[in-house]
């Protein structure tokens, strides 16, 4: 075992970059700390502009060969990567839980299987990607999806590997080479992915992984003139910086940003279902961009809804995410915990009332919290907290419900609980959101478009939409005239 290899939950992880099919160290490192117990996991290579340039150069060199690889072979390699993920599912699950604090049971049963599915789905979609030829005054139009080129993918810490492969899989399927930059708070499973991809036969340089801080390596990646696509999931301020960096080269961007999504509970809803949906928003300690953190309840059922919610939420178990009985784990980082606590303190000082929770606990834990008595224009209602903090507001009628739901700068998702099918159609048609769930939550299908409106993002990915982004679409128009007779 090399000096650059650490052992996390019994799994060996190389902490160097993966560039051009080789492990590459940096002069500096950063410390990776587990949110589970505050223990140091190891020192991770801290990339700079030099590593960024090397990674893009490797991707540029590898791109022509991978782009020219037949679709069937690209799909085969992606399926082989999925096979590797499934073989190492337990390794990936335990390492990611140690690295970002999400529930081990969720990683085992849902998240890591979804990682494998990401590769299988886009491999299969690639093989049926196409558009029927069509006629224009006797001329034939033929549409192609041409690989765009080296792609920089910058991913967040809340679901590190799943969200990384949501980008990596379609980019590779499209024929692009990739430079993946994982979040510095949770970089380890990206390193394991590099090993899995190499073992699956992905050519050197097609997937590169570089670690480090955005200010030190991210800017060098997003401003690089050889980069043809940038996909980012994260905060609005960082997205602005990336967009400004990419502007000089007119590099196309896909941005999936923050959310402040509403859950609308109408009086005709199944209240037990509505309460279950509301409590589900505490998943991953509230560190979910899609979470419906603004609970909007019709006045006539607000008291009963609140009573049932308190009863249900009080039974949640918060603690060690490695324990199968735990429902809510820790916050990712002390800085994030301080941010959450600050939001709640300021809200209470402004007149909000904590129906449940409201305090941090020992370690990196914040209690599941529900705040009532909040004003629509208050910070706690308008800004993303990214923690286990929900707000409760009431509305008098459908018109007010829609107005309150749409009254933020975000538009990532929305959830509606109602027993009236006609109302569901009316309300969902008026909500500003990239995804709307009715009487359910977090049902995701890779065939569907995904992305946000307003400050929640730019563009859509999923199914053919992903290939539309990662490719240059080309239409070839052919005249029936002018062919030579070779007979």
Residues 290 and 316 in one domain: yes
Per-residue pLDDT tens over the stretch 181-199: 999 999 999 999 999 999 9
Which helix (H) or strand (E) segment holds residue 55: the answer is: helix 49-67
pLDDT above 90 as % of the chain: 97
Per-residue pLDDT tens over the stretch 158-183: 999 999 999 999 999 999 999 999 99
Region 429-434 average pLDDT: 97
Residues 229 and 313 in one domain: no
Residues 238 and 366 in one domain: no
Residues 20 and 135 in one domain: yes
Residue 399 lies in a domain: yes
Query: Which residues are bridge partners to 23 per DSSP?
Result: 18
- Quickly count: other Cβ atoms within 10 Å of residue 39's Cβ: 9
- C-alpha distances in Å from residue 8, one per residue of 4, 55, 165, 183, 351: 13, 26, 21, 18, 44
* Residue numbers of the domain that contains 361: 262-438
Residue 486 lies in a domain: no
Per-residue pLDDT tens over the stretch 218-248: 899 999 999 999 999 999 999 999 999 999 9
pLDDT-derived band at 262, boundaries 50, 70, 90: very high
Bridge pairing between strands 294-298 and 353-356: unpaired
**Angle separating helix axes 71-87 and 188-199, nearest 10 degrees:** 130
Region 271-277 average pLDDT: 98
Region 456-482 average pLDDT: 95
Which helix (H) or strand (E) segment holds residue 356: the answer is: strand 353-356
Per-residue pLDDT tens over the stretch 37-63: 999 999 999 999 999 999 999 999 999
Residues 458 and 379 in one domain: no
Q: Which residues, at least 6 apart from 381, have a Cβ–Cβ distance to it below 8 Å?
A: 260, 294, 374, 375, 391, 393, 408
Per-residue pLDDT tens over the stretch 385-427: 999 999 999 999 999 999 999 999 999 999 999 999 999 999 9
Q: What is the pLDDT of residue 487?
A: 58
Q: Which residues, at least 6 apart from 3, have a Cβ–Cβ distance to it below 8 Å?
A: none
Residue 337 lies in a domain: yes
CA distance 96 to 160: 8
| Number of independent structural domains in the chain | 2
Residues 181 and 300 in one domain: no
Residue 443 lies in a domain: no
Residue 484 lies in a domain: no
Residue 446 lies in a domain: no
User: CATH number of the domain that 60 lies in?
Assistant: 3.40.605.10
**Which residues are marked as active site?**
256, 289
Residues 417 and 366 in one domain: yes
Residues 153 and 242 in one domain: yes
CA distance 106 to 101: 11
Strands (DSSP E) contained in 175-251 are 178-181, 207-209, 229-233
User: CATH number of the domain that 380 lies in?
Assistant: 3.40.309.10
CA distance 74 to 324: 38
Whether 306 and 355 have beta carbons less than 8 Å apart is answered as yes
Residues 236 and 100 in one domain: yes
Q: Which of 209, 198, 151 is nearest to 175 (CA)?
A: 151
Per-residue pLDDT tens over the stretch 366-389: 999 999 999 999 999 999 999 999
């Amino acid at each position: 075992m090399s000096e650059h290899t650490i052992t996390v939950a019994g799994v060996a992880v190389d902490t160097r970059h993966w560039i051009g099919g080789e492990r590459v160290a940096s002069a500096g490192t950063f410390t990776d700390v587990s949110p589970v117990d505050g223990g140091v996991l190891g020192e991770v290579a801290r990339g700079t502009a030099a590593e960024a340039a090397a990674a893009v150069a490797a991707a540029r060199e590898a791109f022509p060969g991978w782009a020219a690889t037949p679709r069937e072979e690209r799909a085969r390699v992606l399926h082989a990567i999925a096979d590797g993920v499934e073989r190492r599912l337990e390794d990936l699950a335990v390492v990611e839980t140690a690295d970002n604090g999400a529930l081990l049971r969720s990683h085992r049963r849902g998240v890591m299987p979804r990682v494998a599915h990401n590769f299988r789905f886009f491999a299969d979609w690639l093989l049926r990607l196409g558009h029927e030829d069509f006629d224009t005054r006797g001329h034939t139009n033929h549409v192609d999806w041409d690989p765009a080129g080296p792609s920089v993918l910058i991913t967040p810490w809340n679901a590190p590997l799943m969200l990384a492969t949501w980008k990596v899989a379609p980019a590779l399927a499209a024929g692009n080479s990739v430079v993946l930059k994982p979040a510095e708070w949770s970089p380890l499973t990206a390193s394991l992915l590099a090993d899995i991809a190499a073992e699956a036969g992905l050519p050197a340089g097609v997937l590169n992984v570089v670690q480090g801080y955005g200010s030190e390596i991210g800017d060098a990646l997003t401003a690089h003139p050889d980069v043809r696509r940038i996909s980012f999931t994260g905060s609005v301020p960082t997205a602005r910086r990336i967009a400004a960096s990419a502007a000089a080269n007119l590099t196309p961007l896909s941005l999936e940003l923050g959310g402040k999504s509403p859950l609308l509970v109408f009086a005709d809803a199944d209240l037990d279902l509505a309460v279950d949906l509301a409590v589900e928003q505490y998943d991953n300690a509230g560190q979910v961009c899609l979470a419906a953190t603004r609970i909007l309840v019709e006045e006539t059922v607000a008291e009963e809804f609140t009573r049932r919610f308190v009863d249900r939420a009080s039974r949640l178990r918060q603690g060690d995410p490695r324990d199968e009985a735990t429902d809510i784990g820790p916050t990712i980082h002390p800085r994030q915990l301080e941010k959450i606590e600050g939001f709640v303190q300021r809200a209470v000082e402004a007149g909000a009332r904590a129906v449940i929770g409201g305090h941090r606990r020992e370690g990196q834990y914040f209690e599941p919290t529900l705040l009532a008595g909040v004003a629509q224009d208050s910070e706690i209602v308008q800004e993303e907290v990214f923690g286990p903090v929900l707000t409760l507001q009431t509305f008098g009628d459908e018109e007010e419900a829609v107005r309150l739901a749409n009254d933020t700068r975000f538009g990532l998702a929305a959830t509606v609980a109602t027993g009236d099918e006609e109302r569901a159609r009316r309300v969902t048609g008026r909500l500003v959101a990239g995804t709307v769930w009715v009487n359910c939550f977090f049902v995701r299908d890779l065939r569907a478009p995904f992305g946000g409106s307003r400050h929640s993002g730019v563009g859509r990915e999923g199914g053919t939409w992903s290939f539309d982004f990662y490719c240059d679409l080309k239409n070839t128009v052919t005249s029936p005239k002018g062919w030579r007779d070779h007979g």
